[in-house]
Structure formats: structure tokens, C-alpha cells
Amino acid sequence: NIFRVLGDFSHLASIFILLHKIQQLKSCSGISFKSQVLYMLVYITRYLDLPWTSSPYNFIFKVLFISSELYIIYLMARAYKPTNDPNLDTFHVEFLLGFAGLLALLFPYKYTILEVFWAFSIWLESVAILPQLFMLQRTGEAEAMTAHYIAALGMYRALYIPNWIYRYFSEPTHKVDTIAVTAGILQTILYSDFFWIYYTKVMRGEKFKLP
């Protein structure tokens, strides 16, 4: 449905905004490398079922997300490594990995490799933006492109919420994916303060600065 398609394209747009920023400005300053690595982990653990993906739409997006994320990590770790400042990217990702790992082991739908990794990926994605938001907090401001990147990334999962509501009411056979919905709501909440600042500042064409 439209919400999900808009969400997936918003996700894709966020990746291209980020790629554009890094290549245009020849710098990955202001971008959290840790968050990008977490997203890489999210895609790998979620798309283990890539080979037998039924819908071509999903297949294409999965390939796009994995390949573009690999390229972003290459750019940040190799091509533009000098512009990477690890002293600003100091969030303890082990807490996030522990959080996702624990929930994946406690409440998977089924104790199979695929399902446990899938649950891990969903929970990890819900908190993967924290290093990036933490870095933003520390620097106190961000380039407009970085703000647009985070906004598009936040919008993607936010749009999945109406998608789930729509599916709940329109597809009688649809069972609510409680893990995805819970994590999706948590993820969107984590973006809420960013969205507020983004809306009040950037929409007025001002530079993105924390109050």
C-alpha cells in the first residue's frame, strides 16, 4: 500500500541523500560511522532470506539497501577516512547490540536462525540511529544534508505505522507483526525530538542547530 511504498522510497532517498552529501562535500563529517555499521548489520541479519525473496519489489530494495550501505561504509572507512572523527562518535554500541540480542533471544516468533536474526535486526534498527543522534547532540549542529538524511530515515519507519494500521483494517488475513510494530513505534519515538527541531528550523530554511 501507499504508506509502505512511500516509506521504502523515503528510506532509499535517505541513503541517496547521504551518498550525495559524502560525495558532494567529499567529507563524512557529522555522520556517525557506528550508526552506519549498525545499519549494515541490520540489513545483513534481516535479509538472510534474500535468495528466496518472493516479491521482486522486495528483492530489488534488499539488494539496493545492502549494496548502498556497503558503499557508504567503504567511503567512510577508506575513501574519506581522514574526515572521520572517531572522538565524536563515542556512543557505546555494545548496549544497543545487547538490547537487540536479548530481545531477539527472549521473544522471537520462532527459535530458528532466520527468525532470531530477523528479530535481532528489527530491534537493532529501532536503536541504530542513537549513535548518530548522540553525535548530533555533541556537535550541536549539522549540515542541512545531514539533517535531511536523518529526517528521511526517520520518516521511513514512521510511514510504516499507518501502513500497519491500513493493513490491519484492510487485510482480513493480516496478522499484526507485534515485534515490527513495537520496535517501529519505539524507533519513531526516538526521532521525535529531532523531528521537532528539524520541522521548526530546517523548514524555515535555517541552519540545523540544537537549542
Partner 1 sequence: KEKVQGHDEL
- Interacting residue ranges for partner 1, rule: CB under 8 A: 4, 8, 11, 46, 49, 54-55, 58, 61-62, 65, 109-110, 115, 118, 160, 163, 174-178, 180
Least Å distance, CB 61 to partner 1, is 5
Least Å distance, CB 84 to partner 1, is 28
Least Å distance, CB 165 to partner 1, is 14
199 bridge partner residues? none
Q: How many CB atoms lie within 10 A of CB 107?
A: 13
Question: Contact at 8 Å (CB) between 107 and 123?
Answer: no
Q: Which is nearer to partner 1, 43 or 194 (CB)?
A: 43
Least Å distance, CB 7 to partner 1, is 8
